[in-house]
Chains A and B, each alone.
Chain A
Amino acid sequence: MRRRHFLKVGAGGTAILAVPAAAQQLLPAHDLAPLIMQIAGTSPPRPGRVRIGLPSLAENGNSVPLDLAVDSPMSEADHVRSIHVLAERNPRPLVASFQLGPLAGRAQLSLRIRLAGSQRVVALAVMSDGACWSAETEVVVTSAACLDELSL
């Protein structure tokens, strides 16, 4: 009998744990295509040259460390003009845009972002010749960034 009881309690506990994961589904994923087109221009971004360093499992969506690096000599003639970060399930999917140039010396950035749930994160880099390169990664967020109002 005690064993049955334990199983029941165990199942209840699992159900409670499952609630936050279900709640995360509330925010629908944005279609990133229009934003990407706005950034990349007419030619669609090609995958490559951009590296995203993001933990595959983030415990706290309020602050997730993000590293970005783009393969580029960062010279006058050939450099990264801008880097953009997009998160499809954030209420505002454009997280940040950075403009840089040859003075940066190295096309590499670190920052901390908010993630409103498990989702795909996309990074775009626009080069001095106008070409756009991209990378994307999936991240699982255990506790989403604080969003009381999901009215958007």
Chain B
Amino acid sequence: MSEAPGIGRIRVPPRARRGEVVEIRLLIQHPMENGFRRDTLGRAVAKNIIHRLVARYDGREILRAELGSGIAANPYFAFFTRATASGRIEIDWEDDAGVRGSVGAAIEVT
């Protein structure tokens, strides 16, 4: 069921010192339809939200989020991780329509 995934943008500092706590910022383009809205013809708009989001650092989980309709459209998240080794930070998500998306960035640890 994979169509065009929501476009995600990630910001991770490109370089960090070992042991430093770095901020990861994520913005996903997604309507996060809460299922309570009607379109211009009065038809109910189906609920479609990103219900799960997982952030990994070289495959190890940093953060796992279970999200509800109380998350604003075009969801934004900022969170932290400790820079341990040069590698990649990858974030995956899935919405109610089964559409998956992912975005990643590299971090160089010195």
A92-B69, A103-B82, A114-B71 known; A109 vs B36 contact (CB < 8 Å): no
The answer for the CA separation of A106 and B36 in the assembled complex, in Å, is: 35
Query: Chain B contacts of A21 at CB under 8 A?
Result: none
Query: Chain A contacts of B61 at CB under 8 A?
Result: 101, 103
Contact mask B39-82 → A, CB, 8 Å, 1/0? 00000100000000000010011111111111111011111111
Q: In the assembled complex, how far is the CB of residue B28 from the closest CB belonging to chain A, in whole angstroms?
A: 11
Q: Which residue of A lies closest to B56 (CB)?
A: A103
Is B71 touching A104 in the complex (CB atoms < 8 A)?
A: no
The answer for the CA separation of A66 and B9 in the assembled complex, in Å, is: 20
Q: Which of A105, A106, A112, A114 contacts B69 (CB 8 A)?
A: A114
Q: Which residue of B lies closest to A68 (CB)?
A: B79
Q: Give how many B residues have a beta carbon under 8 Å from the other chain's beta carbons.
A: 30
Tell me, yes or no, whether B18 is within 8 Å of chain A by CB: no
Q: Give how many A residues have a beta carbon under 8 Å from the other chain's beta carbons.
A: 36
Query: Chain A contacts of B67 at CB under 8 A?
Result: 95-96
Q: Which of B44, B63, B71, B75 contacts A99 (CB 8 A)?
A: B63
Chain B residues touching A, majority SS:
strand
Q: In the assembled complex, how far is the CB of residue A66 from the closest CB belonging to chain B, in whole angstroms?
A: 9
Query: Chain B contacts of A91 at CB under 8 A?
Result: 34, 36, 69
Is A94 touching B82 in the complex (CB atoms < 8 A)?
A: no
Q: In the assembled complex, how far is the CB of residue B40 from the closest CB belonging to chain A, in whole angstroms?
A: 12
Is B37 touching A149 in the complex (CB atoms < 8 A)?
A: yes
Query: Chain B contacts of A114 at CB under 8 A?
Result: 34, 69-72
Tell me, yes or no, whether A25 is within 8 Å of chain B by CB: no
Is A97 touching B73 in the complex (CB atoms < 8 A)?
A: no
Contact mask A108-127 → B, CB, 8 Å, 1/0? 11111111000000000000
Is B75 touching A62 in the complex (CB atoms < 8 A)?
A: no
Is A95 touching B62 in the complex (CB atoms < 8 A)?
A: no
Tell me, yes or no, whether A100 is within 8 Å of chain B by CB: yes
Instruction: State the A residues within 8 Å of B (CB).
Output: 62-64, 85, 87, 90-101, 103-106, 108-115, 145-150, 152
Supply 4 further A-B pairs (C-beta < 8 A) apart from A64-B72, A101-B61, A104-B81: A99-B63, A105-B21, A114-B34, A146-B36
User: Ordered nearest first, which 3 A-B pairs have the shortest CB separation?
Assistant: A105-B82, A95-B70, A110-B78
Please list 15 pairs of residues, one from A and one from B, whose beta carbons are closer than 8 Å in the complex, sorted by A's number: A62-B72, A91-B36, A93-B70, A95-B68, A95-B71, A99-B63, A100-B79, A106-B21, A106-B80, A110-B78, A111-B76, A113-B71, A115-B70, A146-B34, A152-B36
